[in-house]
């Protein structure tokens, strides 16, 4: 019996960051999908139905990630997909409060950049299980 690899979508405009995270997650047995802006992220998520989404907040537009998360949560087929925010927002705006809010910013986990890679993999595994 073969098990299906867990698929993670990374949505971030920093291509070097995406490649680094993708390589690390790939080495830990995950299949990685990549989008470099929110619009493509929503399209790819709807086509591929990833097991988890890693989302940046400040992309081409400073608030692009906020609106992308809202759009994903409006899509019936994406409502149950966990979203982890990976952002340097707290470093740039230390007074920004980031509690998840089901109406405004419905994410499941917030991790500040630079990301602790071991912590990221552990949180992903806790949320969606071990890859095949």
HEC string of 65-127 equals: HHHHHHHHHHCHHHCCCCEEEEECHHHHCCCCCCCCECCCECCCEEEECCCCHHHHHHHHHHH
Tell me the pTM.
Answer: 0.87
What is the rounded CA–CA span in Å between residue 11 and residue 13? 7
Over its length of 132 residues, how does the chain's per-residue pLDDT go in tens digits? 345 789 999 999 999 999 999 999 999 999 999 999 999 999 999 999 999 999 998 888 777 888 999 999 999 999 899 999 998 765 545 445 555 555 556 789 989 888 999 999 999 999 998 765
- Residue pair 84/122 in contact (Cβ under 8 Å)? The answer is no
């Amino acid at each position: 019996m073969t098990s299906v690899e867990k698929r993670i979508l990374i949505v971030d405009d920093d291509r070097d960051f995406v490649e680094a995270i993708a390589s690390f997650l790939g080495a830990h047995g995950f299949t990685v999908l990549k989008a470099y802006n929110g619009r493509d992220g929503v399209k790819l998520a709807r086509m591929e139905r990833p097991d988890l989404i890693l989302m940046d907040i400040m992309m081409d537009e400073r608030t692009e990630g906020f609106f992308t998360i809202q759009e994903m949560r409006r899509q019936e087929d994406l409502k149950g997909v966990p979203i982890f925010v990976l952002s340097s927002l707290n470093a740039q705006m230390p007074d920004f409060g980031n509690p998840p809010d089901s109406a405004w910013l419905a994410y499941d986990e917030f991790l500040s950049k630079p990301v602790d890679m071991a912590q990221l993999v552990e949180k992903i595994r806790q949320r969606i299980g071990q890859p095949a």
